[in-house]
């Protein structure tokens, strides 16, 4: 049991910090709903950070730490699926970026506007679709991710894979949710702490009021819980741990997002304030994989169904 980064992890995250610093990643100055960085996405792919889990000397947990760190940026790239789901496939059999949907391949999916592969979880099988960009329609939404949907499957290669791979993808999707979500929560909390420390009302900083302190401390406890559950899931890669971590994350999103916006008042409703770059990505995750109840039931079944 060791909660500190090992040498490999420190080296990986150090290298990642250098890449981030070199790209000078920052929140868009203009008010936008969606902040996706094509440049960040390309640099991450080229630098190999998204393939860490494929390397013998590294682990899925190392890759999860990369996902968590990148989630804390105000701009998104297709990271979590590539880094955590992608390694389930043999090298060069699928191309990133990925988009994932449940059941219906024509459903709106985040990252589909840039994706080269769409994975469709149909329960007992997995569809692997090589995306034809000409069939992708952009979908406008409040969510801070780019969204698209396929107009049809016409002309696209669709591979049908078995239940084992479908189960594996679902497990790693849960892991991706949990890891990325905990990183998003951390940056959202940091943003709000800065706001309530500097914003004065009634001659006091907002953050000096106990009503706000208690809810922010609760949010911090929730975020840390989500983080350790997610990292444990990355370490074990078990059905139960991944479902449990995703369940906890999704279960926590409504309260945390509500509170964080509440504490920023009207400022938190504006696009010039960066909070939505994290909270609206969290909102997008709420409905993934059937929502928190589906993950909770999956965790319960994985934990107890087969127990004697």
Partner 1 sequence: MEFGWSDDQSAYRQRVKDVLADNLPEDWEERAVHGPGSTPVTKFSFEFCKTLAAQNLLIPHWPVEYGGSATQPWNHFILGEEAWQVGEPRGPQYMNVNWIGPVLMRYATAEQQARYLPPITNGNVIWCQGFSEPSAGSDLASLRTKAEKVEGGYVVNGAKVWTSFATHADQCFLLARSGSGKEGIMILLVDMKSAGIQVKQIPALIGEGDIHEFFLTDVFVPEQNCLGAEGQAWEIISYALQNERIGIARYAFARRVLDGVIEELKADGRFDDPVIQDRAGRVLAKVEAARMMVYRVVDERAKEQPASAYGSLARYILVQADHAVADFVLEFMPSGMLGGDPLQQAHHQRALYSGIGAGAAEIQLNLAARRYLGLPSENTRGL
| Interface residue list for partner 1 (CB under 8 A) | 1-6, 9, 61, 65, 193, 196-197, 200, 203-205, 207-210, 212-214, 216-218, 220-222, 224-226, 228-229, 231-232, 235-236, 243-245, 247-248, 251, 292-293, 295-301, 303-305, 307
Which tokens hold the place of 273? Answer: 């304030």
- Give the nearest distance from C-beta 71 to partner 1 in angstroms: 17
The total number of residues shown for the chain amounts to 308
- Give the nearest distance from C-beta 196 to partner 1 in angstroms: 7
- Give the nearest distance from C-beta 238 to partner 1 in angstroms: 11
Nearer to partner 1, 116 or 199 (CB): 199
Place of tokens 């997995």: 126
Nearer to partner 1, 123 or 133 (CB): 123
Nearer to partner 1, 108 or 205 (CB): 205
Nearer to partner 1, 93 or 210 (CB): 210
Which tokens hold the place of 285? Answer: 């995750």
Nearer to partner 1, 15 or 108 (CB): 15
- Give the nearest distance from C-beta 142 to partner 1 in angstroms: 27
What is the Cα–Cα distance from 142 to 281, expressed in whole angstroms?
9
Q: How far, in Å, are 62, 101, 157, 237, 288 from residue 137 at the CA level?
A: 35, 15, 18, 34, 20
Nearer to partner 1, 30 or 306 (CB): 306
Q: How far, in Å, are 111, 128, 130, 166, 291 from residue 116 at the CA level?
A: 9, 10, 6, 19, 25
- Give the nearest distance from C-beta 278 to partner 1 in angstroms: 17
Query: CB pairs under 8 A, 24+ apart, for 216-225?
Result: 216/189, 216/192, 216/259, 216/263, 219/185, 219/189, 219/255, 219/256, 219/259, 219/260, 220/189, 222/185, 222/252, 222/255, 222/256, 223/182, 223/185, 223/186, 223/189, 223/252, 223/256, 225/252
Nearest CA to 113 out of 97, 102, 126 is that of 97
- Give the nearest distance from C-beta 294 to partner 1 in angstroms: 9
- Give the nearest distance from C-beta 2 to partner 1 in angstroms: 4
What is the Cα–Cα distance from 287 to 96, expressed in whole angstroms?
23
Nearer to partner 1, 130 or 251 (CB): 251
- Give the nearest distance from C-beta 141 to partner 1 in angstroms: 27
Nearer to partner 1, 50 or 192 (CB): 192
Which tokens hold the place of 35? Answer: 């902040």
Structure-derived torsion over alpha carbons of residues 43, 168, 69, 296, reported in degrees to the nearest 10: 150
């Amino acid at each position: 049991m060791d909660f500190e980064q090992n040498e490999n992890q420190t080296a990986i995250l150090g290298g990642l910090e250098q890449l981030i610093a070199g790209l000078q990643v920052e929140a868009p100055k203009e008010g936008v709903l969606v902040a996706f960085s094509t440049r960040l996405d390309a640099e991450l792919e080229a630098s190999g950070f998204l393939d860490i889990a494929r390397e013998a000397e590294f682990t899925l947990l190392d890759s999860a730490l990369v996902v968590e760190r990148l989630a804390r940026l105000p701009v998104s790239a297709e990271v979590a699926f590539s880094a955590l789901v992608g390694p389930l496939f043999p090298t060069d059999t699928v191309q990133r970026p990925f988009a994932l949907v449940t059941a219906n391949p024509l459903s709106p999916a985040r990252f589909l506007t840039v994706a080269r592969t769409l994975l469709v979880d149909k329960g007992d099988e997995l569809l692997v679709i090589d995306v034809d960009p000409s069939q992708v329609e952009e979908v406008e939404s409040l969510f801070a991710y780019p969204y698209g949907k396929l107009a049809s499957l016409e002309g696209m290669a669709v591979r049908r894979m078995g239940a084992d791979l479908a189960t594996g993808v679902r497990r790693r999707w849960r892991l991706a949710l949990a890891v990325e979500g905990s990183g998003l929560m951390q940056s959202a909390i940091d943003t709000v702490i800065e706001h309530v420390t500097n914003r004065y009302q009634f001659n006091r900083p907002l953050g000096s009021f106990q009503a706000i302190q208690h809810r922010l401390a609760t949010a911090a406890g929730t975020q840390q819980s989500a983080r350790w559950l997610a990292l444990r899931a990355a370490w074990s890669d078990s059905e139960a741990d991944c479902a449990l971590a995703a369940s906890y994350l999704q279960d926590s999103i409504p309260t945390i997002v509500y509170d964080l916006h509440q504490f920023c008042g009207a400022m938190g409703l504006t696009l010039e304030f960066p909070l939505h770059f994290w909270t609206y990505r969290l909102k997008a995750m709420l409905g993934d994989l059937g929502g928190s109840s589906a993950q909770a039931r999956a965790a319960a079944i994985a934990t107890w169904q087969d127990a004697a």
